[in-house]
Structure 1
Amino acid sequence: MTEKPREPLDHLDPPAPDPEATQPLPPPPPRQHPVHRPPVALIAFLAAGVVIAGAVLAILLGRIGPDPAPASGSPPRRFLSPQALVDYLDRRGLGCDGFQAVDDARNAVGRGRCVAAGQPVAVGVYEGHSDVEAQWVAMAGSREPLFMALGENWAVDGPAGWTRRVAEVMNVQYRAQP
């Protein structure tokens, strides 16, 4: 029982194809077949999911981050000093010349005086809005006429037209006691 050595397989000819074993490919499906239609419902569902995810992300970022910055064209809500307020108004075309800080800043962070439209202007910066309201009450009971623009932590008392314009530019309340 001796066996003959076999030749390596790579030298053999491939077997002849069996004509009954191969079948032709089936015809392609017609154009109306579901294979050719995009999955519209799936696309709409995914698009809605992306929109909802974006909204949730925007809400979460708004809650996580610090207070949103004011819009680029909106004025600041608070000022650190009367000089900073006067400088800001000057850049907005509401000049107040000859600013001088007032040493007697009772109940205020700082006060100052300047001249606008040829008339004296008093400028005050306070800790909060309640102090601004207290300033209005104190001034309204002491003299007439009184024209004030009342900001979040600041107040400006000056000529009627100029002070009204300050209130408009700064988007704050204008009060008058003629």
Structure 2
Amino acid sequence: MIKKECCYYQSSTVKDDPEDEESIIKGMTPNPLLKKNEWGWAIDPIGFRIALKEIYARYKMPIFVTENGIGVREELNENKTVEDDYRIDYLRAHIEQMKLAMEEGVDVIGYLTWGCTDILSSQGEMKKRYGFMFVNRDESDLRDLKRYKKKSFEWFKNVISTNGKQL
């Protein structure tokens, strides 16, 4: 089976001053019109849709989204959960744009988030959390390693059970 791998994590803009300190890659800089997470990653659901359309137009192959999500600092509240409405909003907006891309002809055959539980980031950090389940540990203390459902857990469970009809 032939497969192609492509990545989309955020959109950027091209700037005419490649020496600018905000430049990510020479000439590339975060879009100043977009909201960013606390690590400076642009939040751009429309960019996600554009990337899906461009990848599909280029390769004419079904797409399986294997990573989509937002990393944020989180701690349990007094009810032993995390009220992560920002994650729900982020995922809802990206799924809505993916559905639009599908209506526009993109063959998306699957969708996964970054992880169902909080996992170590690519830098080995636990402070950047991605999942629907809070893992009770931090950078240096394993604590008790218990798992706690975040608000987004039930939301995403409903998204799955309705096959994306209820976002």
Name the TM-score, length of structure 2 as normaliser: 0.25
- Please identify which structure carries the higher strand content: 1
In terms of fraction of residues, the more helix-rich structure is 1
Higher relative contact order (CA 8 A, sep 6+): 2
